Amino acid sequence: MEQPNQPANFSLEHAFKRIKEIQTLLQGGALPFEESLRLFEEGEKLIQQSQQYLSQAELNIQYLTGEKPAENE
């Protein structure tokens, strides 16, 4: 399910795995500040892409099942 602003090879499973790796590295506390910042930014980008992917998947499911999209709270 390719979406705008996402690479064609985006994989939700790969993103979750990489986010977990980044979390482990950052919690270790042994990285230089610059590396920690770079990893944090990478993790934030992956989280944003994952949220967009899941939102689009939800809309696709609602479309296929005939449900009306839920209002954002």
Task: Let me know: does 12 contact 54? Beta carbons within 8 Å.
Answer: yes
Predicted confidence at residue 51, as pLDDT, reads 98
- Percent of the chain exceeding pLDDT 70 equals 84
5 falls within a domain: no
Checking if the pLDDT of 52 tops 70, the result is: yes
Show the domain range for 19.
12-65
Predicted confidence at residue 72, as pLDDT, reads 61
* Residue that the structure tokens 């689009």 belong to: 56
Predicted confidence at residue 6, as pLDDT, reads 66
Burial class for 22, CB neighbours closer than 10 Å (0-12, 13-18, 19+): buried
Q: Cα 15 vs. chain centroid, distance in angstroms?
A: 6
Predicted confidence at residue 27, as pLDDT, reads 97
Helix pair 33-65, 12-28: axis angle to 10 deg: 150
Domain count, the chain: 1
57 falls within a domain: yes
30 falls within a domain: yes
Q: Give pLDDT tens digits for 16-43.
A: 999 999 999 999 999 999 999 999 999 9
Predicted confidence at residue 8, as pLDDT, reads 77
